[in-house]
Amino acid sequence: MHQSTAVDNRVGSRAETVGIALQAKSIAKSYVIGGQSRPVLDGIDFHVDIGECVFLAGPSGSGKTTLLSILGLLLTSDSGELFLRDRRVDGLSEVERTMIRRERIGFVFQRFQLINGLTAEDNVSIPLTMDGVPMREARERAGALLSRMGLAEHRQALPSSMSPGQCQRVALARAVIGQPELILADEPTAALDGKSGKAVMELLRELTTEFSSSTVVVTHDPRIYDYADRICEMENGRFK
């Protein structure tokens, strides 16, 4: 097993620890570069408990983002098994993977990745409306969540008129509004100053605890390590 040891409950207590939310077994992935196959992940074993927040840390090129992509069904592994709760999800078709991402996974991206033409409220509404929630109801729920996150006055603001910290809070709201089982965050504080970064992480922990979501965060930012239940350090496609 190439798995890190857990760093226990540095911030608050986990809402629920019964059962495994995500389990990866012997995940391997290679990229062909210059005609040669180069392994990026080398037989990774990994799991996240329900309600747990796990950080993936390590130097650039260690395979963190590739692992996150595979966990989020954005990439397929070359070999290995992947379970989301008790459902095996590796080897699914693109359409099936898309539906699982829609229904069970929330994403937070480094550059927020908000839709520029939509207001904050409409951006947050997207996961709900994709699930068939009527637009009016989705907006109401999105507005309530944004208000709770201190963005009541920015509900109708376009991303271009908001600060990076505000944008990341909107992105966070979009990730959690559907109350997914799993939230995957890729460098969520990399584009933010220290204060905004901490505010975003506090919100992330608060909301994931409330919704019993499990969280995997890829980060280089040691300032936020306190928010992890467990930190897994990666190097050369393996856990240290």
> Which residues, at least 6 apart from 34, have a Cβ–Cβ distance to it below 8 Å?
none
**Least Å distance between CB 106 and other proteins?**
8
**Least Å distance between CB 14 and other proteins?**
25
**Site membership for other proteins, residue 227 (CB under 8 A):** no
Cα distance between residue 210 and residue 196, in whole Å: 21
- Beta-strand pair 238-239/79-84: unpaired
Instruction: Return the number of the residue (7 or 78) whose C-beta is nearest other proteins.
Output: 78
**Site membership for other proteins, residue 135 (CB under 8 A):** yes
Q: Which two tokens stand for residue 190?
A: 């990399």
Inter-residue contact 183 to 227 (CB < 8 Å): no
**Site membership for other proteins, residue 26 (CB under 8 A):** no
Residue selected from 52, 90, 122, 181 as contacting other proteins according to rule CB under 8 A: 122
Residue selected from 62, 65, 209, 214 as contacting other proteins according to rule CB under 8 A: 65
Cα distance between residue 91 and residue 203, in whole Å: 34
Instruction: Return the number of the residue (49 or 204) whose C-beta is nearest other proteins.
Output: 204
Which range of residues in 9-17, 50-58, 66-74, 232-240 is near other proteins by CB under 8 A? 66-74
Instruction: Return the number of the residue (62 or 110) whose C-beta is nearest other proteins.
Output: 110
* Greatest Cα-to-Cα distance within the chain, rounded to the nearest angstrom: 53
Q: Which two tokens stand for residue 43?
A: 């037989």
Cα distance between residue 39 and residue 183, in whole Å: 26
Residue selected from 6, 7, 99, 144 as contacting other proteins according to rule CB under 8 A: 99
The separation between CA 89 and the C-alpha centre of its own chain, rounded to angstroms, equals: 17
**Site membership for other proteins, residue 186 (CB under 8 A):** yes
Give the Cβ contact number of residue 97 at 10 Å. 19
**Least Å distance between CB 19 and other proteins?**
24
> Would the CA dihedral through 202, 203, 208, 214 be positive or negative?
negative
Instruction: Return the number of the residue (13 or 98) whose C-beta is nearest other proteins.
Output: 98
- Give the binding site for other proteins (CB under 8 A): 65, 68-69, 72, 74-75, 94-95, 98-99, 101-103, 105-107, 109-111, 113, 115-118, 122, 125-127, 129-130, 135, 138, 158, 174, 186
